[in-house]
Every structure is written in structure tokens, then in C-alpha cells.
Amino acid sequence: MLEKIFFFLCFPSVLAEMLCQPDAPEGFNVRLSIKTALGEEAYEWNRNEKFFFQAAIAYAMSIHLKQEFSVSDVLVCNETPRVSFWFVVTSPANPLLLIDKANVEMAVRKSRNRINSALLLSDTTMEFVGALPTLAAPFIPATPPWLIVFGVVIGLIAAGIVFLLVSTVVQKKRKKNQKTDEEDDDEEERVKTVENRNRSDGVYNASFSDDEPNTQM
């Protein structure tokens, strides 16, 4: 009897060892580069961090398969100083049944952002070997930003051109008006000179006189 109890107590850990192995068909190899990601503030990989990871994976599985997964359903093994390890996920209903790789992958991809931020890592510093990379779709704004800059620049240029053309036209009109005023002045002056000649207002210039007594030698 005691042997049976002993056997059942040891069974889960033995089972875990059997289910979770390096190169397990339904398992994933995970590589963490904590020092690369955090530098001075790197935390040490210990049991608590491992627990956090398992919880995050359980969370992802719960969301994807809409079943309740718990931390004990995520089995981690073969930890190395790298820090890297293998993990498999067992079904909550049946601890002997492993969730297939495709589902685990989908779950991780869906919640990758949350798993990353839980461990303060990123897509490059926490690598799920063999999983398709999560492609962060580049943010495409409604109007391309370059059109906005273009609009501003072309607006300024158009305003400048209009301003310069209008100011040139206005200047030319002013010059024309000035010219017509001055031409009127000119005409008046010319008229005056004609009048002057008639009135002979000027001083008589004797140098061209025909006065013979003055020029006789």
C-alpha cells in the first residue's frame, strides 16, 4: 500500500521528466538573453523567475484555447547557464496529454507582447526556437506623414509666389501712375516753355545779337 502511495506521489515528477525532454516533439526551446536586454539591471534567473515564465505561458494558453490552464501544466526542464530551457504544456484535463506544438505556438504568438513585457524582454532577447517570428506590423498612419510635410512646403511656396507676383503688379501700376503724372508735368512744362518764348520772360542773352557795332573788329 505504502509502495503504491509512494509510486503515485513520485509519478508526476517522473512523468514530467518523461514528457519534458530536449528535442521533445511538442516542446519548445527558449533562449533568454537577460544581460543583453537589461545590462546593469539584469535579474538573476532563479526559481521565482521560472515560475513567472510558467505563469505567463499558462496565461497565453488559457487565452488561446479558452480553457483554464494552471502553472503546473507548464513543464520546464533542461535549464542551462545560457539561460535556455525546454518547456512543454500538458492539458489541464489530462496531465499525460501534451498540447500539440502548433497550438502552443499560436498561443505564444497571440500573447507574445504580454509574455515579453512580463519578463522585461523583447522578441530578440527571448527567442522561441523554431517558432515563426512575430512580425510587428509597421504602424501605417491614415495620411502618409510625408504628404503633410509636402502640403506645408507647397503651401508656403504658393503663398510666396502669389505675394511676389501681386507685389510686382502693384509696383508696376504705381510706376505707371507716377509716369503718367510726370508725363503730365512734362507736358505742362513744355507748354510753359512755349508760353515762355511767346512772353519772352527770360533775360536777353546778348552774345548772339546781330548788333554789328559790337562785333566789328
Task: For the chain, report the end-to-end CA distance as a whole number of angstroms.
Answer: 172
* Contact call for residue 84 and another protein (CB under 8 A): yes
Tell which one of 1, 9, 135, 217 touches another protein (CB under 8 A).
135
Tell which one of 18, 153, 191, 194 touches another protein (CB under 8 A).
153
* Contact call for residue 145 and another protein (CB under 8 A): yes
56 touches 110 (CB < 8 A): no
Mapped onto helix, strand or coil, the DSSP state of residue 53 is: helix
Q: 97-106: string of b/e by CB count within 10 Å (b at 16+)?
A: ebbebeebbb
76 touches 85 (CB < 8 A): yes
Q: Where do we find the cell 525532454?
A: 21
Q: Where do we find the cell 528535442?
A: 23
Tell which one of 32, 56, 108, 115 touches another protein (CB under 8 A).
32
Tell which one of 48, 67, 117, 168 touches another protein (CB under 8 A).
168
Tell me how far, at minimum, the Cβ of 131 lies from another protein, in Å. 13
Tell me how far, at minimum, the Cβ of 123 lies from another protein, in Å. 13
Question: Using CB under 8 A, which of the segments 11-19, 26-34, 86-94, 110-118 binds another protein?
Answer: 26-34
